[in-house]
Amino acid sequence: MEENEFVEKVKEKIMGQNLTYQIMTFGCQLNENDSEKIAGMLEMVGYTKASEEQIPDILVFNTCCVRENAEERLFGKIGEVKKWKQEKNVVIAIGGCMMQEPQMVDKIKKSYPYVDIIFGTHTTQNLPENIYKTILKNEKVRDILDIDGEIYEDLPIKRKSDAVANVTIMYGCNNFCTYCIVPYVRGRERSRKPEKILEEITDLANKGYKEVTLLGQNVNSYMRTERENGLTTSAIDSFAKLLYEICKIQGIERVKFISPHPKDFTDDVIQAIADLEKVSSMIHLPLQSGNSKVLKEMNRKYTKEQYLALVDKMVQKIPNLSLSTDIIVGFPGETEEEFEDTLDVVRKVNFEQIFMFIYSPREGTVAAKREDQIPETIKHQRFDQLKKLYESKVEANNEKYIGTIHTLFIEGKSKNDDAMFTSRTDTNKVVVFEPKEGFQIGDMVEVEIRENHKWYFKGEIKNKGE
C-alpha cells in the first residue's frame, strides 16, 4: 500500500470518534521541529490535539539521547503513562534519537512491553502506516533503519507558533565530536535543496510569520558535502548564499540559526551576517572547552586561540554582536588547569548566555571508552564553579538593559503566567510584559525594560514597533 492509502484507512477507522493526540518532546529544536511534523501527520489522519487535562488516544514520545538525564526523564514518563494504557488503551509510540540505540530499544521491549510503536529518526514519515498496523492490524511495530539518511519533503506540519517558525535546512552530522552520539543516531550530513527551503519560508511569510530559525546540527556547513562531491544543482550552494536569499523574502523580518560550528564560520558567513540586517546578531558559537588539548581530544578542529581569534573577528565585523555558547565540563582526562582555560575563555568573551553541561558518557562514542573518566563529584564542582562565574557576569551585564527600549515580536503568552505576554530581545533575553489594548501575539512592539530578574526581564509596552 502507498503511504496515502494508510492515511485514508486510518482516517476511515477513527472518523467521528473525536480522538485526540499528545506529543512529549525531549531535546533540541530539531526534535521540536520533527514533533511539529508528527503533529501534522496525526492531524492529517484525523486526531486533534488533546487538552492539558485530557488523556489522549495516542501518545507520541519524541526522544533525545544527547545526555543521560534526557533518557532518565523519558523512562520516568513511560512508567507514568502505564495507567493510561490500562484505563483507556492509549496507543503509545516512541520515536526519535534514542530509538536509534539498540540497547534502548531492548530496554523498552523488556521493561515497557505495553509500548505499541517504536520508530527511529529515519522512519518518522511512516507514522500513518505504523498507526494503521497498530489500530487496524493489532500489530506491535518496530520501524527502525540504520542508514545514512534521506530527506523527506512536503510532510504536513502543525506549527506551535503563528509568529515564529523553525525551518530545518540540513540533517545529520559528519563531525564525530568524540563525546557526541548525534552522528550515530541522526546519520550523515545532508542539506535540503535551497528551492525547497525558500519555498517553505515564502509560504511562512505569506501566512504572516515574521521570524524563522534555521536549524541543523551544523548549519554553516550547509551544502558542504554536496559541494565537495559535485552534487550541487543550484547557485545557492553555501550557508552564506542561503542567508542572502532568505533575507530577500518579503514579510520575514528576522532570521536566526542554530547551531553553527566554529570551524565552519568562514568569512563569507561573517560578511553575510554583517551585511544582512534581518539576520539576528545573536550568534550561538559552541565552545565546548577552552583548552586546546581537550578540544583536540574532543575532535573539535580548533584551538583556544583560534576560537578567541574568531570571536575577535566577529566582534569587529558584526555590529551589535552578542554571543551564546555551549560548554561541557568534566570531559575524560580534563585536569584542573585545563578546566581553568575554559573559565579563562568565559572571563574573556562576553557571552550573553551559556548552556552548561556535565559530560555524560554515551555508549558507542570514542570518549565513553576512555578509562580516565572524571569522578562525578569533581564534574559537579567544576559545573558549580563555572555557573558561579557565569551568574556573576549575567548580573553585571543585565544592568545595562534597564531603561533600554527594544523592538520585539510578541511571541506568545508567558509560560509561567498566561496573563503576561512573552518575547525575547535580539540577544535572546526573555522579556515578559502586560498585554495592552490593540496589541496581539505576532505584533511588533516597542518594549522598555524595567526590572532585572536575572533570567528574565519585566518590561512595558511603549508603542507599536516598526
Binding stretches for ligand 5AD (CB under 6 A):
66-67, 179-180, 286, 288, 326, 328, 357, 359-360, 362
Q: Considering CB distances under 5 to 8 angstroms, the limit depending on partner class, which of ligand SF4, ligand 5AD, none binds residue 357?
A: ligand 5AD
Q: Which is nearer to ligand SF4, 42 or 65 (CB)?
A: 65
Query: Which amino acid is residue 2, in one-letter code?
Result: E
Burial class (CB in 10 A: 0-12, 13-18, 19+), 40: middle
Q: Which is nearer to ligand SF4, 176 or 355 (CB)?
A: 176
Q: Considering CB distances under 5 to 8 angstroms, the limit depending on partner class, which of ligand SF4, ligand 5AD, none binds residue 422?
A: none
Q: Considering CB distances under 5 to 8 angstroms, the limit depending on partner class, which of ligand SF4, ligand 5AD, none binds residue 217?
A: ligand SF4
Asked if 167 contacts 291 with a C-beta cutoff of 8 angstroms, the reply is no
Query: Which amino acid is residue 258, in one-letter code?
Result: I
Residues with Cβ within 8 Å of 19's Cβ and at least 6 positions away in sequence, in order, are 46, 47, 48, 57, 58
Closest contact distance (angstroms) between CB of 66 and ligand 5AD is 5
Closest contact distance (angstroms) between CB of 314 and ligand 5AD is 18
DSSP assigned state of 251: T
Compute φ and ψ for 338, nearest 5 degrees.
-65, -40
Which position has the grid cell 546519520? 187
Dist CA 180 CA 65 (whole Å): 10
Closest contact distance (angstroms) between CB of 180 and ligand SF4 is 3
Nine-digit cell string for 51: 487538552
Q: Which is nearer to ligand SF4, 175 or 324 (CB)?
A: 175
Q: Which is nearer to ligand SF4, 57 or 71 (CB)?
A: 71
Q: Considering CB distances under 5 to 8 angstroms, the limit depending on partner class, which of ligand SF4, ligand 5AD, none binds residue 91?
A: none
Burial class (CB in 10 A: 0-12, 13-18, 19+), 230: exposed
How many CA atoms does the CB half-sphere of 426 hold within 13 Å?
18
Closest contact distance (angstroms) between CB of 330 and ligand 5AD is 8
Strands 421-424 and 430-433: antiparallel
Asked if 327 contacts 294 with a C-beta cutoff of 8 angstroms, the reply is no
Q: Considering CB distances under 5 to 8 angstroms, the limit depending on partner class, which of ligand 5AD, ligand SF4, none binds residue 328?
A: ligand 5AD
Q: Which is nearer to ligand 5AD, 93 or 328 (CB)?
A: 328
Closest contact distance (angstroms) between CB of 314 and ligand SF4 is 19
Q: Which residues bind ligand SF4 (CB under 6 A)?
A: 173, 175-177, 180, 182-183, 217-218, 261
Residues with Cβ within 8 Å of 1's Cβ and at least 6 positions away in sequence, in order, are 9, 129
Q: Considering CB distances under 5 to 8 angstroms, the limit depending on partner class, which of ligand SF4, ligand 5AD, none binds residue 329?
A: none
Q: Which is nearer to ligand SF4, 222 or 439 (CB)?
A: 222
Dist CA 53 CA 41 (whole Å): 22
Closest contact distance (angstroms) between CB of 162 and ligand 5AD is 27
Closest contact distance (angstroms) between CB of 331 and ligand 5AD is 8
